[in-house]
């Protein structure tokens, strides 16, 4: 090892020798890029993990394995972990690794202890899509901003949806599932509902129609089973085992890969719920929970300003609750600057520079790292699988020197567990009794239907009373000389009113109006849903 490389390794060894508890990422490589300095152990302080982090790198460079190493080390330290398993290959955490071969070679070079081990794993899925217990959220809990992101609404439509949520809340109408929201929108664009929104500015029928059509599409894509009750409780992410190991919760997402906006926005909802539920803890010795957002670029693609503000605020504030958030994506430029600036811990795998855009992204990535003895532009394009460039926040909050690192091998299996292992995890879950079966209690859909039924019944009773009154009048004896005369023939005017008044007040005329209103209402509904007959 050259003198320059040896000096760099010495600085890394000193900078990463933390006094408090930490997790081990691997061992440093000198500037020569060859020899692994087993004495220069690259660690990440547990007390700094609520300062958030980024794991980035091109496809196939080892990001998923890095997530697994992080999760294992955190679990061993008693920290619960939440991981979004987009590809379905993290269930291997429940199965010990086989060891030998490349694993033995890697760990021998690092001179670090290694033991094949299975970890405590809890499996969840979105509303019944995939293995594990279903995770559900109510429409009210999700809120109009995140729901607008899922539906792909523009700013005007998002504002209208917020108005709908506000009105439902004022009326005490619980929005639990999608049919509740559909029922409220249909009510508000009806003749009866327009008066309810007159003082709030109203909602254009065309805007309501767009929202309704998008809700129907979301329902067809699985939202009908995702939105509802029982709503998931964040306390179930914070569990440890009897021996003190942190439970690793995997949200299995392969079944909803065709709805990336749905699951990525759900993850942001869960993060917001954690912020609301957890107490302030400041800067604890170790995090309360580490929350990992895989495929982070899906969060920010075509995101509205309101959504980006919500993400930035959640990341900025939730660290005081002891929650660390790690974003996983291909390049740091996938993450907005306002969010990226808050990610103090960085594990950067190899980047490609095959196109001008790749070269631009590489240059931007290099500029985000502290000054280093490495030629990062060259190093980042030559890293091997299982290697990364690392910099973390020290216990004092200062960034550590950049360290080219050979990462540890996971102690659990890389890839999915066997099917029987997965089935046993699901069967033995303590959460099944609370989340396995969906609930459908009275909410906006049922309440509005009851109101409509009551109004119809009242109208029928009033009509019957009027009919009885008319019948009584007609049965009463008229004046001497031959009863009532019509207005025709030059006689005197009928004391009960003219012919027009009699027709308008008649039951037959009112029945005709109701029939016409029903037809008009049906045509409006067909127009809204795009099923109007031609």
Is the model's pLDDT at 369 over the cut of 60?
yes
Supply the pLDDT for residue 76.
97
| Bridge partner list, 347 | 55, 390
DSSP strand pairing (36-45 vs 323-329): unpaired
What does the pLDDT average to over 16-25?
Answer: 94
Residue 344's pLDDT band, with cuts at 50, 70 and 90, is very high
Query: 3-class SS at 288?
Result: coil
- Indicate if the pLDDT at residue 504 is higher than 60: no
| pLDDT tens for each residue of 118-128 | 999 999 998 77
* Residue 512 clears pLDDT 60, i.e. is over it: no
Which among 30-34, 143-147, 415-419 has the top mean pLDDT? 415-419
**Mean of all residue pLDDT scores within the chain:** 84
Q: E strands along 294-413, which residues? A: 323-329, 345-348, 387-391, 403-407
The confidence band for 89, taking pLDDT boundaries of 50, 70 and 90, is: confident
Check residue 224 and give its pLDDT. Answer: 81
Roughly what angle, to the nearest 10 degrees, separates helices 139-151 and 155-170?
Answer: 170
- pLDDT by residue (tens digit) across 472-482? 888 877 665 44
Neighbours of 385 (CB within 10 A): 12
Compute the C-alpha angle 79/83/85, nearest 5°.
155
Interval 289-305: pLDDT, tens: 999 988 888 778 767 67
Is pLDDT above 70 for 383? yes
Each residue of 91-108: pLDDT tens digit? 999 999 998 888 999 998
Q: How far apart are CA 199 and CA 419, in angstroms?
A: 58
* Rounded CA separation 425/261 (Å): 28
221-250 confidence digits (pLDDT tens): 777 888 999 999 999 999 999 999 999 999
Q: Is the pLDDT of residue 334 over 90?
A: no
Q: Is the peptide bond before 98 cis (omega within 30 degrees of 0)?
A: no
Per-residue exposure over 105-142, b if at least 16 CB sit within 10 Å of its own CB, e if not: ebbeebeeebeeebbbbbbbbbbbbbbbbbbbbbbbbb
Q: The sheet that has 133-135: what strands, in order across it?
A: 36-45, 22-29, 403-407, 387-391, 345-348, 53-56, 323-329, 289-293, 81-85, 248-252, 121-126, 133-135
Name the CATH architecture for the domain at 3-136+229-435. Answer: 3-Layer(aba) Sandwich (3.40)
The pLDDT of residue 506: 54
């Amino acid at each position: 090892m050259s003198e320059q490389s040896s000096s760099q390794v010495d600085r890394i060894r000193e900078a990463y020798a933390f006094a408090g508890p930490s997790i081990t990422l691997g061992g440093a490589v000198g500037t020569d890029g060859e020899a692994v300095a087993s004495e220069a152990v690259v660690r990440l302080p547990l007390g700094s993990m609520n300062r958030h982090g980024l794991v980035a790198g091109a496809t196939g460079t080892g990001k998923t394995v890095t997530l697994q190493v992080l999760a294992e080390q955190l679990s061993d330290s008693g920290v619960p972990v939440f991981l979004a398993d987009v590809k379905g290959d993290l269930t291997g955490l429940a199965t010990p690794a086989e060891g030998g071969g490349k694993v033995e070679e890697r760990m021998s070079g690092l001179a670090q202890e290694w033991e094949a081990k299975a970890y405590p794993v809890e499996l969840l899925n979105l509303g019944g899509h995939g293995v594990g217990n279903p995770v559900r959220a109510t429409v009210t809990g999700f809120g109009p901003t995140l729901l607008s992101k899922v539906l792909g609404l523009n700013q005007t439509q998002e504002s209208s949806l917020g108005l709908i949520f506000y009105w439902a809340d004022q009326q005490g109408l619980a929005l639990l599932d999608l049919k509740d929201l559909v029922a409220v929108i249909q009510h508000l664009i009806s003749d009866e509902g327009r008066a309810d929104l007159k003082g709030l500015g109203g909602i254009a029928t065309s805007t309501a129609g767009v929202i309704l059509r998008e809700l129907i599409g979301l329902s067809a894509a699985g939202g009908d089973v995702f939105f509802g009750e029982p709503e998931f409780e964040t306390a179930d992410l914070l569990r440890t085992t009897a021996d003190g190991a942190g439970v690793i919760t995997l949200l299995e997402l392969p079944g909803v890969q065709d709805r990336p906006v749905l699951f990525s926005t759900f993850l942001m909802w869960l993060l917001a719920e954690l912020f609301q539920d957890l107490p302030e803890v400041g800067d604890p010795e170790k995090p309360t929970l580490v929350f990992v957002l895989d495929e982070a670029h899906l969060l920010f693609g075509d995101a509205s300003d309101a959504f980006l503000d919500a993400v930035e605020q959640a990341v900025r504030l939730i660290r005081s609750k002891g929650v660390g958030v790690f974003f996983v994506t291909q390049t740091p430029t996938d993450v907005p600057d306002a969010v990226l600036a808050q990610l103090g811990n960085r594990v950067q795998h190899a980047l490609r520079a095959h196109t001008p855009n790749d070269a631009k992204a590489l240059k931007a990535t290099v500029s985000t790292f502290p000054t280093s003895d490495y030629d990062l532009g060259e190093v980042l394009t030559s890293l091997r699988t299982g290697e990364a460039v690392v910099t973390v926040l020290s216990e004092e909050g200062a960034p550590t020197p950049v360290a080219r690192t050979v990462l540890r091998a996971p102690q659990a299996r890389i890839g999915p567990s066997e099917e029987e292992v997965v089935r046993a995890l699901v069967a033995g879950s303590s959460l099944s009794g609370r989340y396995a079966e969906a609930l459908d209690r009275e909410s906006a859909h049922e309440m509005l239907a009851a109101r409509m039924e009551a109004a119809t019944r009242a109208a029928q009773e009033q009509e019957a009373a009027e009919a009885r009154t008319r019948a009584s009048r007609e049965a009463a004896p008229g004046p001497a000389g031959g009863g009532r005369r019509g207005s025709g023939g030059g006689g005197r005017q009928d004391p009960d009113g003219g012919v027009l008044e009699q027709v308008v007040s008649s039951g037959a005329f009112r029945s005709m109006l109701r029939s016409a209103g029903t037809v008009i209402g049906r045509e409006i509904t067909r127009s809204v849903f795009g099923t109007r007959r031609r």
